[in-house]
Amino acid sequence: MMKILVTGANGFVGTHLCQKLLNMGHTVYGLARNPAKILMQHPQFIVIKGDLNLATLSWIELLPADLNACIHTAGLVHSFNSHDFFQVNAEGTSSLLHALKSRYSSRAAFKFILISSLSAAGPVYRGEKKDESQPDFPVSDYGRSKKEAEKLMKELAPSDWLTSIIRPPMVIGPGDAAVLDIFKMVKSRLIILPGLNSKNKEYSFVCVYDLVETIVLVLESNKELFLYSAHDQVITFQQLINEIKKRMQIRILFYLPVPVILVFLLSRVLAFIHKLFNHNLRLTPDKIYELKGEAWVCDNAQSKSLIAQTYYYPLAKTIDLTYEDYRKRHWL
């Protein structure tokens, strides 16, 4: 069994990952800025209070000398300040690597797995898929910050460590607050479309359970890997809406297409309001650049061939599990 540090342990992916690793018998050190938000209790789960954006990461000394791996899931996805993305996603990764090197540089085959994003690669045209051999063209500061984190990992990690990158697309599953916004739109019966062709835009997705399986398979591998983790299905935004509508047993929806320029102006207004009154709305100016993309689709062939990944959760099953979880949490 292994001793594993998981950053972002109280996040959406981090929570599911910690539970899976504990179920497998591993000892997990879960890093969280606010441990009070972690409800999970397990004799082999040790909560570490800490932040990646500090001058000194003194919490590193709380980790065991024989730590086997770090799975870096922590990151910032939404912000009205572009600088925040680079501070958290890039500089935070750099600080983490420097701190881990100070204790574990002599540990050969120490594993460092970075959970990046399809946003680091950028969109493609409809009918195309992004694979690991193609050049990256991130269109948002979020994507550029994740790309920078990947670059820093390659530069800073000791040569005898095993470093890997996993890039998921849209992640859906129980506990996800981002896709919850789409469920709420469907419940309201009014679907606001950001762009006149939003219904037909294409997306890859992955259920959080399949993504966690990818992470575990990479952890168990003795290779350095660079993979996209995504289900075979490529869906349109309309198909996503229809699946949620079907699960919620809603018969009629009304659609309101809004030109992208108006959505962009609205995001600017929200950014200004955010400076005066803090709010949690996710429509940021940076997100608009991603909304313009025709397709956010990636190829999962490498994950199937190199780590024998099987994707068990198609869209319908994923939406069912997510909806039931939202109901239990009284989020809908």
Residue 325 lies in a domain: no
Is the pLDDT at 267 greater than 90, yes or no?
A: no
Tokens, residue 214: 């990818």
48 in any annotated domain: yes
User: What does pLDDT average to over the chain?
Assistant: 92
**Structure confidence at residue 271 (pLDDT):** 62
- The CATH number that applies at residue 166 is 3.40.50.720
60-64, 166-170, 225-229, 262-266: least confidently modelled range: 262-266
pLDDT in tens, 174-199: 999 889 999 999 999 999 888 888 99
Instruction: Tell me the pTM.
Output: 0.94
Tell me the pLDDT tens digit for each residue of 10-67.
Answer: 999 999 999 999 999 999 999 998 887 787 888 999 999 998 887 778 899 999 999 9
| 216-220 average pLDDT score | 98
**Residue span of the structural domain in which 91 resides:** 3-176+204-232+297-312
Decide if 275 is inside a domain: no
pLDDT in tens, 207-216: 999 999 999 9
- Asked if the structure places residue 254 within a domain, the reply is no
The DSSP string of 114-177 is EE--GGGT--B-TT--B-TTSPP---SHHHHHHHHHHHHHHHHS-TTSEEEEEE--EEE-TT-H
Name the region of 83 (left: φ>0; alpha: ψ -120 to 50; beta: rest): alpha
Q: How many domains does the chain contain in total?
A: 1
